[in-house]
Amino acid sequence: MTDPGGAPIPAPIAAVRPRRLHSPFGDRIDPYYWLRDDTREDPQVLAHLAAENAYRRAMMAPIADLEARVFAEIVARLPRSDASVPYFKRGYWYYDRFDPDAEHPVFLRRRGSMDAPEETMLDANQLAAGHDYFQIGAAEVSPDGRWLAYCEDTVGRRQYRLRIRDLSTGVTLPTVIEDVETDLAWAGDDRTLLYVAKDPETLLGVFVRKHRVGTDPRDDALVFEQTDHRFYTGVSTSKSERFLFIHMESTVSSEWRYARADDPALEFRMFLPHERDHEYQVEHAGDDFLVRSNWNAPNFRILRVPVEASADRASWCEVVPHREDAFVHDFEPFASFVAVSLRTGALRRIEIVPSAPPGAEGGRPAPFLVDAEESAFTMDFGDNPAVDTDLLRYTYSSPTTPRTTYDLDVRRETRTLLKRDEIAGGFDPARYQAELDFVTAADGARIPVTVVRRRDTPLDGTAPLLLYAYGAYGACIDPTFSVSRLSLLDRGFVHAIAHVRGGQEMGRAWYDAGRARHKRHSFTDFIDVTRALVARGVAAPDRVVAMGGSAGGLLVGAVANLAPALYRAIIAQVPFVDVVTTMLDESIPLTTNEYDEWGNPAVREDYEYLLSYSPYDNVGAQAYPAMLVTTGLWDSQVQYFEPVKWVAKLRAMKTDRNPLLLHVEMDAGHGGKPGRFEHFRDTAMEFAFAIDSVGR
């Protein structure tokens, strides 16, 4: 990537302004700390970001046509208009639709029948007009169907604004509640709404407040205040709509409180106080609560708990037992069965666990797994608001099968196809092949790997490879369909996902083996997968591109320091790379409630471990691959200055002449551009960089 004259374009170099950063175990010198601007208004910082963006555009100018073609290909595969599968709740059919070429959805409903007149609840395209960024974060209808509460973000910082619309008139009330989370819960009186307000400094949701429609938000009563900032706090309504919940989750513990939805006072009672290493979630079913819990069950189990005796664990009755070979991820309660989302063999499946009717002879029928046709796939729950039904709505996807929605009749074990996402442009799944394989790590662990390619792509050691991973928070990168990925596969790329430790694909132990003082396993697993795929002829040794975002950006940032020679290029999306500085700063969002994920730098052993792999702190005088780094100025999850400082330090220290590019999205945050089509502009940029890097 050079200018038309052939000479390298000079990169902007951030000024070195050393600053001493204090910690309990020694000071560090940070030469680029000045690039941190919490106001996002410092002229020097903004000028530096503008220079970086200009440099990135200039360096990628020779492949601008390629980037435009990739974007056009992706967008051409999307249907011009689209609609979700309707679901029935409280007398209405609800669905959303994308009108032709629209960037944002329209939220719709019909009373009683899909033949009834269509009612527009909310048109996000109209609301987005005049905003550089717009995103709907939540939309909840009151039980009587009159009021719609919705949350909107016009910055990208996830500081949502709560609004309420009268669906009987189509008028949005003047009420505006700033800086809220997207969790909303209507009480049974149809006029009281629970929401979670953020702390303006940390941006954590800590204040649960109660708003009555039509009143001044300044009078909203405080229902609960979270004083322990290790916990994320949310609110929700039970599926039965008989209870409201306040729930608090940290990395290793949970606490839930409940109130009856028809209680005018909304008096919340404790389900079970939080205790370390006990995580649980509560749902209501019949006369009891159903609880997903890891009490004496590392991979979780499901228990039936009397509503009035939740603290008496002797009264808890097991519904779905703990299994060593399956991780209980989630569940949906129904009158005659429980649908369980299981992770087994690294894949997310659904098991149906029937309930035995009272007095039935022979006990309940045997549980069964929902059928799957492929070796790499993902199942998930769809919209299931009804309890007294034999139908389970679920979705199925694989790297070669677009997202498909089914209704499963659990009594007859038959299913009805409701929708398969349309892929325009002559997509033929038979041209592609996907499989789940395993790679043995250096320490003997078996790492799952999902590999997808065109069937005519040879496995003779010549193909380029894009290898992706995340590996944190127990989050799983499931093998699902990607409409954008086809632009790589059709150019001869192999695409692979390394399901490294730190995720939860292989159960809770897989997560524990990749967090805190075991975090390095995530990095070495990725390296071991890279070497194995090259050794097997899946990829050319000099044509491997690594990609990861957020915590996955930390992963590829660490890998860049540990094994740079393995990769032709690295794409780090909104990467968490300044680990020690961030974890020492309790004013930054997500810091205090993530000590159990990464470690507490106030503890010497944790501090030294974090410092040993932090990508920013371990940049060295060595050759690095070509690198594209992205960030958003308004990112609240990983502050923009982490990747900006990292790039500045890399520029100063690296010994190679490979491209090092930084793209700063000035009008967005952690999720990048919003919009059905515009969202793929960053993808096209990243794919063009990858394609050009391997000489495809």
| pLDDT greater than 80 at residue 589 | no
| pLDDT given at position 13 | 77
Place of tokens 């941006």: 203
| pLDDT given at position 363 | 57
User: Cα separation of 680 and 421, whole Å?
Assistant: 17
| Assigned domain for 36 exists | yes
User: Cα separation of 548 and 555, whole Å?
Assistant: 7
Label residue 174 exposed, middle or buried (CB < 10 Å: 0-12, 13-18, 19+): exposed
| Assigned domain for 267 exists | no
Where does the pLDDT of residue 588 fall: very low under 50, low under 70, confident under 90, or very high at 90 and above?
confident
| pLDDT given at position 305 | 95
| Assigned domain for 630 exists | yes
Q: How many domains in the chain?
A: 1
| Assigned domain for 375 exists | no
| Assigned domain for 572 exists | yes
pLDDT above 70 as % of the chain:
97
Domain that holds residue 553: 19-76+426-693
Residues 525-559 have pLDDT tens digits of: 999 999 999 999 999 999 999 999 999 999 999 99
Residues 230-261 have pLDDT tens digits of: 899 999 999 999 999 999 999 999 999 999 99
| pLDDT greater than 50 at residue 151 | yes
User: Cα separation of 516 and 610, whole Å?
Assistant: 9
| pLDDT greater than 90 at residue 468 | yes
Q: What CATH number does the domain containing 56 carry?
A: 3.40.50.1820
| Assigned domain for 212 exists | no
Where does the pLDDT of residue 138 fall: very low under 50, low under 70, confident under 90, or very high at 90 and above?
very high
Residues 639-681 have pLDDT tens digits of: 999 999 999 999 999 999 999 999 999 998 888 888 899 999 9
Phi and psi at residue 27, to the nearest 5°: -95, 155
| Assigned domain for 473 exists | yes
| pLDDT greater than 80 at residue 456 | yes
| pLDDT greater than 60 at residue 616 | yes
Alpha helix (H) residue ranges in 203-321: none
Please, which residues have CB within 8 angstroms of residue 71's CB and are 6 or more apart in sequence? Answer: 680, 681, 683, 684
Phi and psi at residue 314, to the nearest 5°: -65, -20
| Assigned domain for 25 exists | yes
Give catalytic residue positions: 550, 635, 670
| pLDDT greater than 60 at residue 3 | no
Residues 113/119/121/125 CA torsion (nearest 10 deg): 120
| pLDDT given at position 5 | 42
Please, which residues have CB within 8 angstroms of residue 167's CB and are 6 or more apart in sequence? Answer: 119, 121, 141, 145, 146, 147, 148
Nearest to 672 by CA among 643, 611, 631: 631
Nearest to 327 by CA among 314, 306, 341: 341
Q: In sequence order, what are the beta bridge partners of 386?
A: none
Encoded tokens for 492:
């001869």
The residue length of the chain stands at: 696
Q: In sequence order, what are the beta bridge partners of 153?
A: 135
Query: What number is the average pLDDT over the span 119-132?
Result: 96
> What is the number of other CB atoms lying within 10 angstroms of the CB of residue 17?
11
Say if strands 465-468 and 544-549 run parallel, antiparallel, or are unpaired. Answer: parallel
Residues 153-210 have pLDDT tens digits of: 999 888 899 999 999 999 999 999 999 999 999 999 999 999 999 998 888 999 999 9
Nearest to 54 by CA among 98, 10, 94: 10
**Mean model confidence pLDDT for the chain:** 94
